Amino acid sequence: MLFLWLYMFYSCAGSCAGLTTRVSSAPPRSAPPLPPLLPGEPGEESSLEEQRAAPDAGSPISSFFNGSGTKRLPQAIIIGVKKGGTRALLEFLRVHPDVRAVGAEPHFFDRNYERGLAWYRDLMPRTLEGQITMEKTPSYFVTKEAPARISSMSKGTKLIVVVRDPVTRAISDYTQTLSKKPDIPTFESLTFKNRTTGLIDTSWSAIQIGIYAKHLENWLLYFPIGQILFVSGERLISDPAGELGRVQDFLGLKRIITDKHFYFNKTKGFPCLKKAEGSSKPHCLGKTKGRTHPDIDQEVVQRLRDFYRPFNMKFYQMTGQDFGWD
C-alpha cells in the first residue's frame, strides 16, 4: 500500500511539473488593438484613455454602478448666433434629464479643429444610453469652414440656430464690446463706411453676423434645411416654454420642460428658471445678460432696418418662418 502511494505521488509530481512548465512558457496573449477615432465616426466609443482604463465603461451595468456613462461626440449643436439667446437656450435645455451639455463653448470647429476629434470628445460630459450630448458655440454659424467640418464628423448632427432681430442683435453685440472696451468709437460711427452716403460697413462683425441668409446658404451646402432648427430669440423671451417645446420635439425628446419651469424676472426683462440643473434654487442668467443698451440715433436704426430688410425677407423664405422683424 505504501509502495502504491509513493508511486502515485511521484507520477503526479512529474506530470504536474510538466504542465506548469508548459503553461508558464506560453507567450502572453496580446491585447487587441484599440480602434482609431476616424473623422466620419459618430463618436459612440469612449476615448482611448477610457478604453484602456475601463474597457467595460460603456456597459449599462458599469454605468449604473459608477455613474459615469460614456463620452460621445455631440449629436446636436447650437451653432449660433452670437447675442441671439444661445446661453439661455442651453441653460433651459440642461434642465431636461436626457440632455447633457458642455457648459463652456468648445470652439472646436472654428478655433481648435487641429486638436482632433479625440480632444473634442474628451470635453464632452458622460452620457447614459438614450441621453443626448450637446454643445453650443455661436460663432460656428458665421465660420465658413464649420459646416464641412461638422458634416465630416457626422452628417446626421442636428443643428440649432437662435436668431434675433439683426438690428437689436448688432446693438447688443456692441453693448457687450463697450462693457469691455469703454473707449471704442460710437455705434453710429462703426455702422457706416460713409455716414454721408449711408453706406453700411458690412465688414464690421456686429453688422455682418446679422446677414443670416448669406450664412445659411453655406450651411445648406452640407445639411438639409430640415436638419436645422431656427429658434426665435424674441419668442424665447416671451414664450420660453413654447420655443423649448419645439426644440424638444426637434431633438426627439419627451416634452418635460414646460411653463412650470419658468418665471419672468421683471428686473432683468427675461425669463428665469425656477430650478436650475442640479439645484433646488431659482436661477437667472448672470449680470452680463440683459445689459441696458446705449441710446442709438434713430436715423441710424432706421438705416439699418432698411439695409437688413431684403436679407430678412430671403431668410424667411429659406426657413419657411416669418420672424416679424419688420
Provide the whole-model pTM.
0.77
Q: 205 labelled as ligand-binding? A: no
Strand ranges (DSSP E) for 14-157? 70-71, 76-80, 99-101, 126-127, 132-136
Let me know how long the chain is. Answer: 326
Is the pLDDT score of 46 beyond 60?
no
State the cell numbers at 13: 509530481
**Quick one: pLDDT band at residue 148, thresholds 50, 70, 90?**
very high
Predicted local confidence at residue 1, as pLDDT: 44
> Residues 276, 289: contact at Cβ < 8 Å?
no
CA 302, distance to chain mean position in Å, is 34
> Known binder of ligand: residue 292?
yes
Q: Which residues are catalytic?
A: 83
Across the chain, what does the average pLDDT equal? 82
Q: Is 291 annotated as a binding residue?
A: yes
CATH topology for 70-319?
Rossmann fold (3.40.50)
Give how far the C-alpha of residue 54 lies from the chain's centroid of Cα atoms, to the nearest Å. Answer: 26
Q: Which residues contact 314 (CB under 8 A, 6 or more apart)?
A: 213
Q: Is 275 annotated as a binding residue?
A: no
Q: Is 173 in contact with 208 (CB distance < 8 Å)?
A: no
Q: Give residue-wise pLDDT tens across range 236-250.
A: 999 999 999 999 999
Q: What is the reported pLDDT for 196? A: 83
Cα–Cα distance between 326 and 322 in angstroms, integer?
Answer: 10
Scan for cell 420672424, then name that residue: 323
